[in-house]
Amino acid sequence: MLRRRGRLRSRRRPEGDGMSTHRRQQHHYSPALLLAGLVLIGITLRPALTAVAPLLRSLSENLQLSASTQGLLTTLPVLCLALGAPLAPKLAHRFGYRRLLGGALAIMAIGALLRVTGTVSTLFLGTVLAALAIGVCNVAVFAMVKRHFPGKVTLITSVVSTFMTLGATASAGLMVPLQRVHGGHWNLAIGYAAVPTVIALLFWIPQLLRREPHAANLPPARSLHHSRLAWQMTAFMGLQSMLAYIVFSWLPALAHSRGLDDQSAGFLLSLSSLIQAAGSIGLPLLARRLPDQRGAVVTVVALTATGLGGLVWAPVGGIWLWAVVLGLGQGAAFALALSLIGLRSPDPHTAGRMSSMQQGFGYLLAGTGPLTVGLVLSGPLQDPWTVIVLGMFGVLVLELLAGLAAGRDRLLPGAPAEHDTDQLPEPAMHR
């Protein structure tokens, strides 16, 4: 009996042996470092897109782009976001979200740098590559938030969303001054959009060494395409994104029509984007404490409608105030749409699939907005902006209806309980 106990004791591994070390390495990671990486990635998700609008008039004159081609240039990024989003869960299933984010950041940087060459082909190709990578990152970032910060989804989502808008603010506000620094060369100015991407990629390299789940360990998927709630969330995301990308793409043109010069128009877009940061972190945190989010939906729609109307019809001296109101509404709407993913998803895998569906179909819908505005502006109308804003009010009505439906307190269909990825350790990395 003593001999048997001795054999049992001899089978126990000492605390410092390889197996224990492996387990400690497997489970020990720095949430703060991961969060910092996600925030840095969040900063990169808008500069490559918002850098175009302040330079649109200059680059169009230089490259002799027609109004319809300008509309295509502003629409392509949104369509590429829609194409990139569904790829994220499939690629993550194979490579894991960490390596997926690393690869997407590299492609984003390449796309942003391609535009420095200053030709029509590289302008469009670089924009497509950057936007596809951003579409993948949009899904991957918030799936990782749900997985690694399940108790703080709304807070972390709001923080990342805030830094996304700060990235957009810096890009929109700095493009025209940078163009002047470089002697009027728009292509040299637009290349600075790659800087935050390169920084985020370098910071993310340690995360590439972390362990990720095998594809076999991911839970079986349940289709969300039969869920009314999923489609309501998708419609809310798509409609608010349509308005957001119309503003990102065409607000400087609206400012020009009201008498502002290029630099003031760029600053107006930058101000609206900056205020979005306040809206994106305030209202969603409050909405999380409510039994449902329908009141928050009404608030963001009302703010957005007020800001749009003021920009077009109020005296031009107050245009800066209306840009602030618009920024509050649109920033809160975007963060609320993202927060609903975490609030309505029962597990991280469902959150990733919902994010893919919401941003895939949603951005496909959103892409029609900037293109339609470009077509209206190139038409024979004497007062095209009145027609455009009235159309945007119609979109706001649809956004309100979709948001009221998605704001009710319900859950999406999720993975079976035994496969809940919140309970899974991070298994061995693919080799």
Structure confidence by residue, pLDDT tens digits, 386-423: 999 999 999 999 999 999 999 998 888 865 444 444 33
> CA–CA distance from 11 to each of 4, 8, 16, 364 (Å)?
11, 5, 14, 59
The answer to whether residues 105 and 137 touch, using CB atoms and an 8 Å cutoff, is yes
Question: Tell me, what DSSP letter sits at residue 95?
Answer: H
Phi-psi region of 184 (alpha: psi -120 to 50; beta: other; left: phi over 0): left
Confidence of residue 304 (pLDDT cuts 50, 70, 90): very high
Whole-angstrom Cα distance, residue 195 to residue 9? 57
Q: What is the pLDDT of residue 8?
A: 41
| Whole-Å CA distances, 343 to 166, 315, 337, 340, 401 | 24, 41, 10, 5, 19
Tokens 């949603």 correspond to 362
Gap between the Cα atoms of 375 and 245, Å rounded: 15
Could you tell me how far CA 404 lies from the centroid of its own chain? 22
Helices (H), 182-227: 186-190, 195-204
Euclidean distance between CA atoms 424 and 407, whole angstroms: 30
Q: Closest Cα to residue 429, out of 202, 201, 215?
A: 215
Q: Which CATH number fits domain 31-213+227-413: 2.50.20.10, 1.20.1250.20, 1.20.1740.10, 1.10.3720.10?
A: 1.20.1250.20
pLDDT: which is higher, 422 or 374: 374
pLDDT in tens, 44-81: 999 998 899 889 989 999 999 987 788 889 888 888 98
| Residue 48 C-beta-side C-alpha neighbours within 13 Å | 38
Q: Which amino acid is at 45?
A: L
Counts of helices then strands in the chain (DSSP H, E): 19, 0
Q: What is the average per-residue pLDDT within 212-227? A: 62
- The pair of structure tokens assigned to 145 is 């938030």
Of 78, 384, 70, residue with least CA distance to 239:
78
Angle at CA of residue 325, ends 319 and 330, nearest 5°: 120
CA atoms in the 13 A half-sphere facing the CB of 381: 13
State the pTM of this model. 0.74
pLDDT band at 284 (very low <50, low <70, confident <90, very high): low
In contact, 360 and 86? CB cutoff 8 Å: yes
Residue predicted with more confidence, 386 or 285: 386
Residue 378 three-state SS: coil
Considering the chain, what percentage of its residues have pLDDT values greater than 90? Answer: 42
Give the residue-averaged pLDDT of 14-30. Answer: 45
Query: Given a cut of 60, is residue 5 above it in pLDDT?
Result: no
**Percentages helix, strand, coil for the chain, rounded to the nearest 5?**
80, 0, 20
pLDDT digits (tens, 9 = 90+) for 81-136: 888 888 888 888 888 889 999 999 999 999 999 999 999 999 999 999 999 999 99
What average pLDDT does the chain have? 83
Token representation of residue 111: 């796309």
Provide the token pair at 381. 């109308």
